[in-house]
Amino acid sequence: MRALVSATVTALAVTILSAFPASRAQGQPDTPALVRDRCTACHNLNRVRERVGKNNEKDWADYIGRMQKRGARVDDAQKAAMAAYLAALPSGDGL
Ligand code: HEC
């Protein structure tokens, strides 16, 4: 019985934790996946990779703002999450 309760508690904790990935885009698809999905509609990721390690968070927000004007399907919360994520990447290899 004790083992069952503890297994249930563990399963519940795992379920809850995996429902909230460590992403700043709360309640949204995970940010790396969003970049791969939304930033490849018009060009491939090489465009993005070229700026990783050069752009800071504000630069990224400006760039993504420009992409929004061109028609990228990204809202402002997603823009902020993507800018933070891209600015924190050490290189474009991980994209
Ligand atoms: C609606 C089409 C479209 C989408 C979607 C799009 N882009 Fe772009 N992107 C462009 C065009 C057109 C250019 C080339 C013109 C330019 O540089 O502004 C470009 C260029 C770029 C460049 C190179 C700019 C430079 O000056 O070196 C980067 C970086 C970039 N995009 C990042 C992104 C990111 C990040 C996303 C996802 C949020 C994204 N793009 C989504 C259209 C798009």
46-84: burial string, b at 16+ Cβ within 10 Å, e else? eebbeebeebeeeebbebbeebeeeebebeeebbbbbbb
The residue contributing the CA closest to ligand 1 atom 41 is 39
Burial of 32 (0-12, 13-18, 19+ CB in 10 A): middle
Q: 36 in ligand 1 pocket by Cβ < 6 Å?
A: no
Pocket lining: 49 vs ligand 1, CB cutoff 6 Å:
no
The yes-or-no verdict on residue 71 having pLDDT over 60 is: yes
pLDDT tens digit sequence for 20-60: 444 444 555 699 999 999 999 999 999 999 999 999 999 99
Lowest mean pLDDT among 10-14, 26-30, 55-59, 75-79: 10-14
Taking 50 as the threshold, does the pLDDT of residue 14 lie above it? no
Q: What is the mean pLDDT of residues 56-79?
A: 98
* Architecture per CATH, 2-94: Orthogonal Bundle (1.10)
Q: How far is CA 73 from CA 3, 7, 20, 90, in A?
A: 48, 42, 23, 25
> What is the chain's mean pLDDT, rounded?
82
Question: pTM of the predicted model, to two decimals?
Answer: 0.79
Ligand 1 and 40: CB distance under 6 A = no
Tell me, what's the pLDDT at 25?
Answer: 42
Ligand 1 proximity of 34 Cβ (cutoff 6 Å): no
